[in-house]
């Protein structure tokens, strides 16, 4: 089955911009969705359908997609953005279960 | 408020069984597919099992196929995960998640399963 690959860790200075990427064959057909997980908490959906934000997610979170790569960008990172970010997609058709990346630990310096 | 609440996690010995429950509220439960996802201590998210809205189609990760069974009772707005032949490496927090084309949300707070002698 397909896999989604993420860098294990990324850091960003407070107030700067950071991009987290996700690579996988399934991303050529399905946009990545992105989940934020803070220590001791359940994951929270922060982006879907490439660049849509659920209600309550700050505008500094944005997404993009090109070929086999999806990306999450935080413009003006805040201390509260420090978390692990997981991408997810679907292996093939609709009504298929989600496929998760390994997660990227974002450190805000 | 759309909400999912898991229950049933416990400490069980290797080879034991456990049934997890997930109760949904605040949305038409019978129109959504549902997924169980687990997270072992210090590890990433792992897809475990999936069931369509009617319950007619199910799927399992290779790691649990033949040992775990997912089913739902739409009359009770609940989805379940029957876990048999539990192994030490099944130790994890188990999350219940509502599936949408617009991303998987919400996630429940999770229920902890510990398999140990």
% of residues, chain B, pLDDT over 70: 100
Q: Is B59 on the interface with A (CB under 8 A)?
A: yes
How far apart (Å, rounded) are the C-alpha atoms in residues A18 and A106?
9
pLDDT of residue A27: 87
Reduce the secondary structure of chain B to three states and give it as a string. CCEEEEECCCEECCCCCEEEEEEEECCCHHHCCEEEEEECCCCCEEEEEEECCCCCCEEECCCCCCCEEEEEEHHHCEEEEEECCCCHHHCEEEEEEECCCCCCCCECCCEEEEECC
Between chain A and chain B, the number of residue pairs with CB atoms below 8 A apart is 63
pLDDT for the residue A91? 64
Do the Cβ atoms of A96 and B59 come within 8 Å? yes
- Chain B contacts in chain A segment 3-62 (CB below 8 A): 33, 35, 37, 42-45, 47-49, 52, 54
Q: What is the pLDDT of residues B1-58, one digit of tens each?
A: 999 999 999 999 999 999 999 999 999 999 999 999 999 999 999 999 999 999 999 9
Report the pLDDT value the prediction gives residue B58, as an integer from 0 to 100. Answer: 93
The tens-digit pLDDT sequence of chain A (109 residues) is 568 999 999 999 999 999 999 999 888 878 889 999 999 999 999 999 888 999 999 999 999 999 999 999 999 999 999 999 999 987 655 557 788 999 999 999 9
Helix or strand or coil: residue A29? coil
Mean pLDDT of B63-90: 98
Query: Chain B contacts of A102, Cβ < 8 Å?
Result: 44
Mean pLDDT of B66-71: 98
- The alpha carbon of residue A78 is apart from the nearest alpha carbon of chain B, in Å, by 23
Q: Given this model, what pLDDT does residue A92 score?
A: 57
Contact B70, B49 (CB under 8 A): yes
Residue B35 has its nearest CB partner, among A35, A86, A98, at A98
């Amino acid at each position: 089955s397909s896999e989604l690959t993420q860098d294990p860790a990324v850091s960003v200075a407070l107030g700067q911009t950071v991009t987290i990427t996700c690579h996988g064959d399934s991303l050529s057909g399905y946009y990545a969705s992105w989940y934020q997980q803070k220590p001791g908490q359940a994951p929270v959906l922060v982006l879907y359908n490439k660049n849509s934000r659920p209600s309550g997610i700050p505008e500094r979170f944005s997404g993009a997609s090109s070929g086999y790569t999806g990306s999450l960008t935080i413009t003006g990172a805040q201390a509260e953005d420090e978390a692990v970010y997981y991408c997810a997609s679907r292996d093939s058709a609709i009504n298929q279960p989600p496929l998760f990346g390994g997660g990227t630990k974002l450190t805000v310096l | 408020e759309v909400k999912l609440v898991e229950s049933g996690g416990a400490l069980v010995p290797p080879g034991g069984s456990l049934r997890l429950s997930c109760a949904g509220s605040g949305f038409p439960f019978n129109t959504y597919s549902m997924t169980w996802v687990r997270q072992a201590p210090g590890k990433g998210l792992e897809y475990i099992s999936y069931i369509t809205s009617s319950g007619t189609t199910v799927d399992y990760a290779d790691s649990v196929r033949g040992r775990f069974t997912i089913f739902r009772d739409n009359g009770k707005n609940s989805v379940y995960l029957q876990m048999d032949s539990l192994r030490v490496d099944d130790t994890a927090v188990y999350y219940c998640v509502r599936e949408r084309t617009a991303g998987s949300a919400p996630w429940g707070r999770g229920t902890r399963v510990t398999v140990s002698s």
